[in-house]
């Protein structure tokens, strides 16, 4: 899927985003496994609330991380999360 700008991503019902304070990492908690997120992945996924569309998410991240290639990397990352079934 190539994410349309109007897509309003949200975590799938069985997926939870948690922060492990001991290891200082963000985690995706799934029914039968845990995925450790690296870098800013947790910050990106926290914006996926079903209210913000993809364009808004990219704009917010571009403001937070000036100079980062969020306009290409964020849609590609969210596409992968969708393909895994972790986002709707």
Has this prediction a pTM greater than 0.85?
yes
Give the pLDDT of residue 6.
86
Per-residue pLDDT of the chain (88 residues; tens, 9 = 90+): 566 778 999 999 999 999 999 999 999 999 999 999 999 999 999 999 999 999 999 999 999 999 999 999 999 999 999 999 999 9
If DSSP codes are grouped into helix, strand and coil, which group holds residue 49? strand
The CATH number of residue 20's host domain is 1.10.10.1150
Buried b (16+ CB within 10 A) or exposed e, 31-69: eeeeeebeebbbebbebbeeebbbeebbebbeeeeeeee
**Has residue 43 been placed in a domain?**
yes
Distance CA(6)–CA(33), nearest Å, equals 30
Domain that holds residue 24: 16-83
If DSSP codes are grouped into helix, strand and coil, which group holds residue 25? strand
**Has residue 24 been placed in a domain?**
yes
Q: How many CB atoms lie within 10 A of CB 29?
A: 13
């Amino acid at each position: 899927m190539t994410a349309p700008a109007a897509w309003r991503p949200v975590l799938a019902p069985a997926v939870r985003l948690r922060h492990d304070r001991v290891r200082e990492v963000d985690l995706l908690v799934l029914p039968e496994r845990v995925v450790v997120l690296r870098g800013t992945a947790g910050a990106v996924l926290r914006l996926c609330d079903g209210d913000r569309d993809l364009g808004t998410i990219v704009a917010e991240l571009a403001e937070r991380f000036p100079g980062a290639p969020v306009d290409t990397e964020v849609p590609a990352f969210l596409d992968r999360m969708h393909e895994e079934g972790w986002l709707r």
